[in-house]
């Protein structure tokens, strides 16, 4: 009687686990797609669906380009957002706050008068003063020296650039050079600031003359309001870089025109 041979056992008894793993992977992917579809904006999802259907059904007749910006919003870089996390930016902000607080404290008595003004702008701190209260007979009076001297002591503690802008009144319109009066007044103010310790490279003088009035020039009261000095303090604290051109004359050991 012949012996019956048992069928050989499979070399891979756990082969079913491979198929099971594939099935679980597909099932997981299916649920991920469902979740993603539920989170996508409906209109955007329809756009990408129509685009994909057009490609698969009629690739040659599909002409509408797919724009990824229609589906995903563009990434917009906001420098101000990163700046708040920058230590240098925070230091500048703290310095700006200290400067404005000290200016308000320095000029607290003057700011009680309507002729004096302190205002914060985006990039500037504006201080406005009446010329007639600072000057007497064309020169800085005692009150003017005291006020600008106090201002200079505060400005000297910082590195912010300062533009001194001088406005005059309609009386100067008859002058041969309407800007000359404002330039002379500004020069005296700037020189006094330097004498009180403000670095000269931080200062700039702007003589605007009578061409930017804020009140009427038809009466003395209006002309008095128009005669004003504005200290424009750069809140960024950045000195403007000078642009210079180096020529052969600059590199020469002897000055130009010197006889050998």
What is the dotted CATH code of the domain comprising 83-234? 3.30.1330.60
Q: For the residues of 165-215, what is the DSSP string, one character each?
A: EEE--GGGGGSSSHHHHHHHHHHHHHHHHHHTT--GGGEEEEEEETSS-SS
Query: For the chain, which residues make up each domain, given as ranges?
Result: 26-70, 83-234
Return the residue matching tokens 């002729």: 115
pLDDT of residue 39: 63
Q: Is 168 exposed, middle or buried (0-12, 13-18, 19+ CB in 10 A)?
A: buried
pLDDT of residue 83: 46
pLDDT of residue 240: 58
Cα distance from N-terminal residue to C-terminal residue, the chain = 133
In 29-179, at which residue ranges do the beta strands (DSSP E only) sit?
117-120, 124-130, 135-136, 139-140, 162-167
Q: In the beta sheet, which residues pair with residue 135?
A: 140
Task: Give the residue from 152, 149, 128 showing the smallest Cα distance to 202.
Answer: 152
| CA–CA distance, 258 with 146 (Å, rounded to integer) | 48
The parts of the chain modelled with pLDDT lower than 70 are 1-14, 37-45, 47-48, 51-93, 95, 238-260
| pTM for this predicted structure | 0.60
| CA–CA distance, 100 with 205 (Å, rounded to integer) | 21
pLDDT of residue 235: 85
Task: Give the residue from 130, 154, 134 showing the smallest Cα distance to 142.
Answer: 134
Which backbone phi and psi does 55 adopt, to 5 degrees?
-70, -45
122: Cα within 13 Å, side-chain hemisphere: 0
31: Cα within 13 Å, side-chain hemisphere: 5
Note the pLDDT tens digit of each residue in 98-121.
Answer: 888 999 999 999 999 999 999 998
pLDDT of residue 175: 84
3-state helix, strand, coil in the chain (%, to 5): 50, 15, 40
């Amino acid at each position: 009687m012949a012996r019956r041979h048992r069928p050989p056992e499979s070399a891979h008894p756990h082969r079913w686990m491979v198929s099971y793993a594939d099935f679980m992977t597909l099932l997981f992917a299916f649920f991920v797609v469902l979740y993603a579809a539920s989170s996508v904006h409906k209109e955007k999802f329809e756009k990408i669906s129509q685009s994909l259907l057009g490609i698969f059904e009629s690739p040659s007749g599909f002409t509408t380009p797919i724009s990824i910006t229609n589906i995903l919003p563009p990434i917009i870089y906001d420098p101000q957002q990163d700046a708040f996390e920058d230590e240098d930016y925070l230091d500048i902000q703290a310095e700006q706050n200290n400067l404005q607080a000290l200016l308000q404290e320095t000029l607290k008595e003057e700011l009680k008068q309507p002729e004096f003004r302190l205002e914060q702008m985006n990039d500037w701190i504006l201080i406005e003063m009446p010329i007639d209260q600072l000057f007497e007979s064309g020169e800085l009076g005692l009150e003017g020296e005291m006020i600008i001297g106090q201002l200079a002591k505060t400005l000297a503690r910082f590195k912010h650039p300062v533009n001194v802008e001088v406005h005059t009144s309609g009386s100067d319109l008859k002058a041969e050079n309407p800007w000359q009066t404002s330039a002379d007044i500004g020069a005296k103010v700037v020189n006094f600031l330097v004498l009180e310790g403000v670095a000269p490279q931080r200062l700039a003088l702007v003589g605007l003359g009578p061409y930017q009035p804020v009140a009427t020039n038809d009466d003395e009261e209006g002309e008095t309001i128009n005669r004003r000095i504005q200290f424009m303090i750069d809140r960024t604290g950045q000195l403007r870089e000078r642009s210079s051109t180096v020529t052969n004359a600059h590199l020469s050991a002897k000055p130009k025109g010197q006889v050998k």
